[in-house]
């Protein structure tokens, strides 16, 4: 027994089994198969009695009793880990230990054809913190409180002593053993004190059968009906079954359902809608579910809609444990994306702090009145959560499967209701995860998404950049990420500027311009000046350029007036005004009819900035003078401010532009203005 425990540990952590000779592997397999198949189905009533009878005497044989099934009937079949008796003999203990190590040993015996070849095969871990003593652990003492028969552990040398040829291969014995456990599980009484242990054995058997069917596909026709039958019984009340058991069923169906033309969707739907919503707050459940998703990531992406259909339920785990599963969800997030879910995933990622707050609210609302007293800081939010008026809004965050809600127009109201949670530790931790997820999200979209998919996200970004949870650091970091990613999106597809002309001009208004949102606003203004050009898109006609110009001109005047108002000088930065002036000049260089209006605008802006500090005023005056001098020469302005988007003679164009800039710089030095008027 000690030797088997050592081998099991070596397989799990050390890998020393690679040094075993083929003959030793065959010997161990023969012994394990023998212990699984030939363990005694009878046991003595009390091997420690002082009657003095020999175990093989006629008096002792009269005391021998059959081990029992879970329902109390006598067992006439092979002994298994679920067989019940008052005491365990040595061969029965070896049977239990052999079963415990079997799933680790099978890939050693059948390496080329085994399930272990899948890189995502997880290391076996305890079933649950509530599962009691797992049968996967080496039972040095009998299960369910029984006392074992005293036995001397077999030495390692004796274990490796060659024996006769195997009557049957280990895989055949293992299949028979696991099917026997399934049969025993069906006979269990409605209530059983060892229910968690029984479920643990069921889980191990299903995972073992999954491995065996992968080793030898000829087992599938016999095994699949038995698995399906047990699952039908389990699914009648899935909340009473351990999560690992449900996950083992789904794993088996995912791996082998195609062979039997079986759709695993009912099992998946039952789990993600009936089990996970009520159990995800249990840390062991959260771990098992995330581990299942990561371990079977490739299979799930190609054979199931789990990720694209049930990602809102999975994100609840991240929202509840934001610091625990960051690495795992960075692996899973790309699997959430599809042509139909990209926009909803973006909303869900941005709303992760809100989801965390709503889950915390749900938790508080389920507490007793005496316990709710400890949550006095969140009384307003708890009251709103229990109010039927807001049921649909909160229900949108608590959904378990995909579905577009109408909460976008009510996000401001939701953020106000959740204001009390802006300093909650769990909510802040969830907010810190969002920038990481956003960068991965946009990298995936830009790498694998189509132009139309990227285009569909522009209105969402413009809409959400002004509707974020009231966490200051979160808002700043998210807007920085969105600013970076919008630049990359337009760099990849410059023609989006024309596609979303109306959306962009609607956004570039003073109501969306505040100091908190200035960075994103500034990038949007720069994008207009950079990509609103017929060299990128022939649809960028004079009418489109005029529309952009009128929008920017209006904003420039309003910002200028605000900056010269006493007490408002610091509301907007000089950098924003410089970008506005540059974008106006670029548009005018492409539509010469606008040059007079832009020259007038630049002069007025500089003349109005009397309240600025001398250094800022000098910078603006210098920049305005340069732009005015360039625009006075339309052909030069077009070459300098609007170089061709793509040119086969790019090097020549860059050289010509450099010479032009040098000439204009010399011109500016010889015509430096002597007053505040731009010449």
DSSP per-residue string spanning 369-420: HHHHGGGGGGHHHHHHHH-GGGHHHHHHHT-SS----SGGGGHHHHHHHTGG
Tokens of 617: 């005023």
With a cut of 90, say whether residue 658 has pLDDT above it: no
How many whole angstroms separate alpha carbon 135 and alpha carbon 93? 11
Phi, psi dihedrals of residue 43, rounded to the nearest 5°: -150, 155
**Do residues 470 and 426 touch, judged by C-beta distance below 8 A?**
no
The pLDDT of residue 378 is: 82
Q: Are 312 and 400 in contact (CB under 8 A)?
A: yes
CB 226 within 8 A of CB 172: no
| CB atoms inside a 10 Å sphere around CB 131 | 18
Contact call for residues 43 and 88 (beta carbons, < 8 A): yes
R_g over Cα of the chain? 36
- State mean pLDDT over 305-325: 94
When pLDDT is averaged across residues 633-647 and rounded to a whole number, the result is 78
Return the half-sphere exposure (C-beta side, CA atoms, 13 A cut-off) of residue 165: 1
453, with CB counted inside 10 A (0-12, 13-18, 19+), is middle
Containing 534, the helix (H) or strand (E) segment is: none
Whole-angstrom CA distances from 229 to 153, 179, 256 are: 39, 12, 15
Closest to 508 in 3D by CA, of 580, 429, 605, 592: 580
Could you give the CA distance from residue 422 to residue 433 in angstroms, rounded to a whole number? 15
Element (H, E) at 435: helix 425-448
Contact 319, 356 (CB under 8 A): yes
Residue 399 CA to residue 261 CA, distance in Å, equals 30
Residue 226 CA to residue 206 CA, distance in Å, equals 10
List CB contacts of 545: < 8 A, sequence separation 6 or more: 532, 587, 590, 591, 594
Q: Which tokens go with 468? A: 């974020």
For the segment 147-160, the average pLDDT, to the nearest whole number, is: 34
Report the distance separating Cα 339 and Cα 445, nearest Å.
Answer: 10
Q: How far apart are the C-alpha atoms of 473 and 475, rounded to whole Å?
A: 6
**CA dist., res. 275 & res. 247, Å (int):** 11
Three-state secondary structure readout of 548-597? HHHHHHHHHHHHHHHHCCCCCCCCCCHHHHHHHHHHHHHHHHHCHHHHHH
Please give the backbone phi and psi of residue 635, each rounded to the nearest 5 degrees, phi first.
-65, -40
CB 625 within 8 A of CB 642: no
User: Residue 567 is encoded by which pair of tokens?
Assistant: 């007490």
Residue 465's pLDDT is what?
A: 92
The C-alpha angle 587, 592, 594, rounded to 5 degrees, equals 65
Q: What is the pLDDT of residue 147?
A: 32
- Return the pLDDT at 197: 85
> Could you give the 3-state DSSP secondary structure of residue 125?
coil
Return d(Cα 319, Cα 668) in angstroms, integer: 58
Helix (H, G, I), strand (E, B) or coil at 66: strand
Query: How far does CA 435 lie from the centroid of its chain?
Result: 14
C-beta of residue 138 within 8 angstroms of C-beta of residue 117? no
Residue 670 has pLDDT above 80, yes or no: no
Segment 587-612 mean pLDDT: 86
Q: Is 144 exposed, middle or buried (0-12, 13-18, 19+ CB in 10 A)?
A: exposed
Q: What pLDDT sits at residue 607? A: 78
What is the rounded CA–CA span in Å between residue 75 and residue 98? Answer: 20
| Rounded Cα–Cα distance for residues 559 and 571 (Å) | 9
- Paired tokens of 579: 């970008």
Determine the average pLDDT of the residues in 78-107.
86
Q: Which two tokens stand for residue 674?
A: 């002597």
Out of 360-364, 547-551, 666-670, pick the least confident.
Answer: 666-670
- Give, in degrees to the nearest 5, the angle at Cα 140 between 137 and 143: 75
Does 391 have pLDDT greater than 50? yes
The share of the chain scoring above pLDDT 90, in percent, equals 37
Q: What is the pLDDT of residue 154?
A: 36
**pLDDT tens-place string over residues 48-74:** 654 444 444 444 454 667 788 877 777
Query: Which among 494, 504, 592, 601 is positioned nearest to 542, based on CA atoms?
Result: 592
For residue 199, what pLDDT band results from cuts at 50, 70 and 90? confident
Sign of CA dihedral 162, 166, 167, 170: positive
Instruction: In whole angstroms, give the CA distance from residue 82 to residue 105.
Output: 21
pLDDT, average across residues 224-234: 89
What pTM, to 2 d.p., does this model score? 0.80
Segment 15-37 shows an average pLDDT of 77
Q: What is the Cα–Cα distance from 517 to 285, expressed in whole angstroms?
A: 40
Q: Single out the residue of 314, 309, 318, 241 nearest to residue 275, CA to CA.
A: 241
- Determine the Cα–Cα distance for residues 61 and 51; give it in Å rounded to an integer: 13
End-to-end CA distance of the chain: 96
- 399 vs 401: CA distance, rounded Å: 6
Mean of the per-residue pLDDT values for the chain?
79
Gap between the Cα atoms of 246 and 264, Å rounded: 12
Bridge partner residues of 147 (DSSP): 87
């Amino acid at each position: 027994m000690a030797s088997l425990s050592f081998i099991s540990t070596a397989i799990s952590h050390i890998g020393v089994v690679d040094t075993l000779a083929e003959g030793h592997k065959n010997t161990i397999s023969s012994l394990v198969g023998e212990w699984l198949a030939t363990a005694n189905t009878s046991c003595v009533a009390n091997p420690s009695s002082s009657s003095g009878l020999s175990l093989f005497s006629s008096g002792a044989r009269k005391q021998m009793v059959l081990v029992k099934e879970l329902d109390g009937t006598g067992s006439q079949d092979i002994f298994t880990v679920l067989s019940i008796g008052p005491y365990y003999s040595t061969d029965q203990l070896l049977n239990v230990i052999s079963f415990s190590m079997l799933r680790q040993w099978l890939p050693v015996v059948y390496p080329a054809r085994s399930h272990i070849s899948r890189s995502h095969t997880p290391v076996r871990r305890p079933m649950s913190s509530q599962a009691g003593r797992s049968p996967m652990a080496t039972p040095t003492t009998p299960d369910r409180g029984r006392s074992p028969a005293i036995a001397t552990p077999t030495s390692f040398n004796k274990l490796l002593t060659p024996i006769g040829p195997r009557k049957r291969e280990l895989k055949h014995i293992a299949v028979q053993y696991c099917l026997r456990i399934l049969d025993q599980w069906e006979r269990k009484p409605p209530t059983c004190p060892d229910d968690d242990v029984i479920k643990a054995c069921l889980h191990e058997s299903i995972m073992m059968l999954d491995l065996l069917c992968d080793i030898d596909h000829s087992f599938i026709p016999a095994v699949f009906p038995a698995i399906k039958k047990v699952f039908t019984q389990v699914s009648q009340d899935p909340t009473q079954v351990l999560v690992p058991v449900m996950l083992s069923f789904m794993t088996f169906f995912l791996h082998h359902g195609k062979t039997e033309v079986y759709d695993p969707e009912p099992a998946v739907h039952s789990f993600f809608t009936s089990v996970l919503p009520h159990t995800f707050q249990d840390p062991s459940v959260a771990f098992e579910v995330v581990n299942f998703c990561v371990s079977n990531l490739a299979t799930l992406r190609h054979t199931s809609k789990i990720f694209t259909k049930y990602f809102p339920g999975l994100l609840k785990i991240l929202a509840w444990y934001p610091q625990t599963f960051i690495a795992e969800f960075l692996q899973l997030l790309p699997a959430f994306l599809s042509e139909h879910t990209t926009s909803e995933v973006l909303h869900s990622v941005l709303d992760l702090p809100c989801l965390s707050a709503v889950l915390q609210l749900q938790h508080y609302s389920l507490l007793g009145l005496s316990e709710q007293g400890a949550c006095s800081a969140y009384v307003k939010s708890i009251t709103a959560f229990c109010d039927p008026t807001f049921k649909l809004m909160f229900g949108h965050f608590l959904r378990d499967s995909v579905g577009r809600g109408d909460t976008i127009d009510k996000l401001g109201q939701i953020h106000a209701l959740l204001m009390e949670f802006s300093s909650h530790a769990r909510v802040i931790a969830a907010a810190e995860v969002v920038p990481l997820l956003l960068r991965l999200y946009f990298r995936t979209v830009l790498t694998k998404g189509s132009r139309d998919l990227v285009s569909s996200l522009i209105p969402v970004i413009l809409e959400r950049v002004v509707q974020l949870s009231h966490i200051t650091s979160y808002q700043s970091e998210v807007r920085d990420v969105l600013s970076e990613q919008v630049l990359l999106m337009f760099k990849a597809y410059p023609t989006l500027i024309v596609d979303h002309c109306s959306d962009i001009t609607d956004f570039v208004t003073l109501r969306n311009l505040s100091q908190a949102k200035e960075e994103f606003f500034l990038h949007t203004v720069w994008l207009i000046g950079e990509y609103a050009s017929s060299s990128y898109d022939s649809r960028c006609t004079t009418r489109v350029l005029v529309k952009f110009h009128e929008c920017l001109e209006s904003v420039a005047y309003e910002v200028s007036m605000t900056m010269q108002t006493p007490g408002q000088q610091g509301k907007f930065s000089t950098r924003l005004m410089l970008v506005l002036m540059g974008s106006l000049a670029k548009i005018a260089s492409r539509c010469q009819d606008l040059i007079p209006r832009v020259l007038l605008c630049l002069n007025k802006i500089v003349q109005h900035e009397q309240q600025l500090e001398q250094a800022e005023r000098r910078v603006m005056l210098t920049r305005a003078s340069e732009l005015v001098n360039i625009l006075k020469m339309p052909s030069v302005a077009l070459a300098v401010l609007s170089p061709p988007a793509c040119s086969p003679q790019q090097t020549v164009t860059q050289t010509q532009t450099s010479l032009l800039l040098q000439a204009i710089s010399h011109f500016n030095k010889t015509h430096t203005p002597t007053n505040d008027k731009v010449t």
